[in-house]
Amino acid sequence: MDFQVLAQGLVSGILIAGIYALFASGITLLFGIMRIVNFGHGELLMLAGYISYWLYLGFKMDPFVSVWISMAVLFVVGMFVQRFLINRVLSAAEENQIVLTLGLGIFLQNAIMLGWSPDPMSIRTPYSSEVLRFLGVSISIPSLGVLVLCLLFISIMFIFLTRTNWGKAIRAVAQSRQGAMLVGINVNRMLLITFGFSAALAAAAGSLLAPITYVFPTMGLSYIVKGFIIVVLGGMGSITGALLGSLIIGVVESLSAIYISTGYKDAFSLLVFLLVLVFRPGGLLGKTRV
Amino acid sequence: MRVGSWQFLVGSLIVVLVLLVSACTPAPPASKPAEKKETIKYGILASLTGAWATQGAQHKNLSEMAIRDINAQGGVNGAMMELVVEDDKSTPEAGVAATEKLITRDKVVAIGGSYSSGVTLAAMKVATRLETPMITWSVANEITDQGSKYIFRPGQKALWYAEAMVKFAKDEIGANTGALVHTDDAYGTSTAKSIKEVAEAQGLKVLADEAYSPQSVDLSPVIIKLKAARPDVVLAVSSVNDSKLLVTQSHQLDFNPKAIIGGGGGFSTLEYIEGAGKDSEYTFSTVDWTPDVKWPGANEIYERYQKEFGRQFNLSSISVAYIIPGIVAEAAKNAGGVADKTKFRDALASVDMKDSMYGPIKFDKNGQNQHSVLVVQVQNGKFVTVWPKQWAPTSFKPVPSWDKR
């Protein structure tokens, strides 16, 4: 196998990392700020996929346009979920939180299955097979678009959290909910915004994936496990960690599939994951909690 | 006294439920007017919920259509046929329970189903024990290899799909080498194994054998490997999502085999053509039935179905659900009714239908029909039957490389 194969493998790994990163950063944001692990995150992605599909069906809208709408819708949905569901279990035992988010996911999945259909639906874009060829390496244009948007969204998120007053307030809430309340931060509002952002990131992944694969009620399941692996690998709560984790998992999967066996690509990414945990139990960029 | 009141509530609920159920169960008809003629009850195991819900609904619709057609033509010697549908929930456990119910409570004379081989293998044990014929639409080899007297299969076994794929690749495409790609679930792995065995026996060299998860969102590593191996043809056992990824990413990575041949599965679904669009053109798939095959009435059923249900049905192991009530009716006619169960079974075993919409039907001693596997090619966004010549209306188009499309 020559240089071209290696380069192509690297490019494929980096491109798929974009989707992983969008999805994982939503999970990690929620965990970092609220200490909530959202098992329904995959279904928020699925919901966004359907929004893009419906907009395509009704108005022939391109997913790169409808992604903005689905993000806005999911931001609101996320705030509702936070206000009426998550808020009630914020200080409850962890099992209760898990059951609630898991239940939300199962509910959404079945609601779509009943209300729409279990069949895979597709969005067709005229450029779905277009590629850039560079030194014999093919770069898929839609995947490249996803990667660019992914970096954009995550940078916006990062700047928001580090540079703005609201972002600082949110980080204060993450450090200590009580402390934040004492200095006059509207904690409930910050939590609403956080959940909204997390849902919007899932929405970005869902809408951008829709034209690459299919939209179907259980589509979230393909990502949820991988999402958690990436989040833990990068360090729970760290957005840069999620980016790094996505890149590692994407590239390891791609290269191990090419040089060893596609059947074992998950085995190799899990092996890397375990090795990281052995030497850094808190993940690559995470703090080990005592 | 919380616990006490709960117990009271649950207790009274149970009492109410019991009362309701007993009120709903009809009392045995004391003096029902003598029926003109007995009805012939035919039951199906349809996967109405669970993993195969899409296919299950299509089996149910086609069974209903068939029963309606038979009754509209006067039924079987004047007796009407009646359909009893049970949901096997796509699981063997529910399939077994549904089979027992169909035979012992509903007293059906024959059972059709199910889509999943796992369900059929479990349910056929019950049917054999209760001596009721089961006519299946699933494909696992073992089903008719066990020698049960009560199992019949009008369609083909999985092995014949593999044989058709390899034969088509060698004789029609002229391939000497092939690469195998398949999903890593039970279906994909076992089918791929038999394709590999057939290929090696027939002298088609297998250069690569790649498994991947059916939930993959990126198959470019697979394509990169295949491209390096340079096979003449790609033989694929896939579900819907990965079929689309295989062809769109082959296009993106400029991988040009002489043919991509799917073993049914995703490559024979409408979702695949819808999803992959132009990239699905020229790809092949094995199927058990097509609307344009030269079997009388095939196209008519397809069009009527579309008119009635507003949607086409899938090509793999679906249309057979329409012919089974016809087979049951034929056997009942030959046996002079269904009252004698042994006579009915023997009549079923010796059914000989020369031109049904599902091709010729004649069971061997294992209940297996020598059904012909067909090969379709996507041409102008539609599946067109291209092989075998005996049944195909046209021949296949050679596959151009991606840059010449």
Q: What is the pLDDT of residues B222-248, one digit of tens each?
A: 999 999 999 999 999 998 889 999 999
What is the pTM for the complete model shown? 0.81
pLDDT of residue B13: 56
Is residue A91's pLDDT more than 50?
yes
For chain A positions 221-260, those within 8 Å of chain B (CB to CB) are 221-223, 253-255, 257-258
Look up residue A247 and give its two tokens: 């890149």
pLDDT of residue A264: 82
Is residue A289's pLDDT more than 90?
no
pLDDT of residue B80: 95
Mean pLDDT in residue range B277-300: 94
With contacts defined as CB-CB under 8 Å, which chain A residues touch B215? 221-222
pLDDT of residue A136: 80
pLDDT of residue B20: 52
| CA distance linking residue B301 with residue B8, whole number of Å | 57
- Give A155-178 as a DSSP string: HHHHHHHHHSHHHHHHHHHHH-HH
Binning pLDDT at 50, 70 and 90, where does residue B1 land? Answer: very low
What is the share, in percent, of chain B residues with pLDDT greater than 70?
91
Mean pLDDT in residue range B77-94: 94
Binning pLDDT at 50, 70 and 90, where does residue A218 land? Answer: confident
Angle B240-252/B220-229 helices, nearest 10 degrees?
Answer: 60
| CA distance linking residue B193 with residue B204, whole number of Å | 14
Q: What is the pLDDT of residues A241-262, one digit of tens each?
A: 999 999 999 999 999 988 888 8
Largest Cα span, chain B: 82
Mean pLDDT in residue range B20-38: 50
| CA distance linking residue B96 with residue B120, whole number of Å | 9
Mean pLDDT in residue range A94-118: 90
What is the share, in percent, of chain A residues with pLDDT greater than 90?
53
Q: Does A136 touch chain B (CB under 8 A)?
A: no
pLDDT of residue B27: 46
Is residue B28's pLDDT more than 60?
no
Is residue B292's pLDDT more than 60?
yes
pLDDT of residue A290: 34
Give me the residue label for tokens 């007053």: A165
Q: What is the mean pLDDT of chain A?
A: 89
Look up residue A111 and give its two tokens: 């609601």
Look up residue B247 and give its two tokens: 């062809």
Q: Distance, in angstroms, between A86 CA and closest chain B CA?
A: 28
**Which of B182, B217, B237, B402 to mutate: most A Cβ within 10 Å?**
B217
Mean pLDDT in residue range B46-55: 86
| CA distance linking residue B214 with residue B187, whole number of Å | 11
Q: Is the model more confident about B190 or about B399? A: B399
Q: Does A140 touch chain B (CB under 8 A)?
A: yes
pLDDT of residue B367: 95
Q: Distance, in angstroms, between B153 CA and closest chain A CA?
A: 27
* 3-state SS, one letter per residue, for B40-102: EEEEEEECCCCCCHHHHHHHHHHHHHHHHHHHHCCCECCECEEEEEEECCCCHHHHHHHHHHH
Look up residue A199 and give its two tokens: 């849902």
Q: Does A266 touch chain B (CB under 8 A)?
A: yes
A–B CB contacts, 8 A cutoff, strictly below: 95
pLDDT of residue B36: 54
Q: What is the pLDDT of residues B161-174, one digit of tens each?
A: 999 999 999 999 99
Mean pLDDT in residue range A203-214: 90
Binning pLDDT at 50, 70 and 90, where does residue B9 land? Answer: low
Binning pLDDT at 50, 70 and 90, where does residue B205 land? Answer: very high
Q: What is the pLDDT of residues A141-157, one digit of tens each?
A: 888 998 999 999 989 99
Buried b (16+ CB within 10 A) or exposed e, B126-161: bbbeeebbbbbbbbbbebbeeebebbbbbbbbbbbb
Q: What is the mean pLDDT of chain B?
A: 89
How many distinct helices (H) and strands (E) make up chain B? 13, 14
pLDDT of residue B12: 58
Picking from A238, A239, A231, A237, the residue whose alpha carbon sits closest to that of residue A276 is A231
Buried b (16+ CB within 10 A) or exposed e, B256-280: ebbbbbbbbbbbbbbbbbbbbbbbb
pLDDT of residue A5: 87
- Residues 6 or more apart whose CB falls under 8 angstroms from that of B195 comprise B162, B165, B166, B180, B235, B237, B263
pLDDT of residue B156: 92
For chain B positions 222-281, those within 8 Å of chain A (CB to CB) are 222, 224-225, 228, 240-241, 244-245, 248-249, 251-254, 271, 274-275, 277-279
| CA distance linking residue B59 with residue B312, whole number of Å | 12
Q: Distance, in angstroms, between B69 CA and closest chain A CA?
A: 28
Is residue B159's pLDDT more than 60?
yes
Mean pLDDT in residue range B239-260: 92
pLDDT of residue B11: 58
- Residues 6 or more apart whose CB falls under 8 angstroms from that of A234 comprise A24, A28, A240, A241, A242, A243, A244, A245, A246, A283, A284, A285, A286
DSSP 8-state symbol, B372 = P
pLDDT of residue A114: 86
Mean pLDDT in residue range B38-45: 93
Please answer whether residues A207 and A66 qualify as being in contact, where contact means their C-beta atoms are separated by less than 8 angstroms: yes
Helices (H), chain A: 3-34, 41-59, 63-81, 87-89, 94-115, 141-163, 165-175, 177-182, 187-209, 221-234, 239-259, 265-279
Mean pLDDT in residue range B352-360: 93
- Does residue A212 come out as left (phi exceeding 0), alpha (psi in the -120 to 50 range) or beta? alpha
Mean pLDDT in residue range A197-222: 90
Is residue A120's pLDDT more than 60?
yes
pLDDT of residue A36: 87
Complex ipTM > 0.95: no
Binning pLDDT at 50, 70 and 90, where does residue B284 land? Answer: very high
Look up residue B357 and give its two tokens: 């919409």
| CA distance linking residue B405 with residue B399, whole number of Å | 10
Q: Distance, in angstroms, between A172 CA and closest chain B CA?
A: 37
Q: What is the pLDDT of residues B132-144, one digit of tens each?
A: 999 999 988 889 9
| CA distance linking residue B98 with residue B45, whole number of Å | 7
Inter-chain CB proximity A124 and B240 less than 8 Å: no
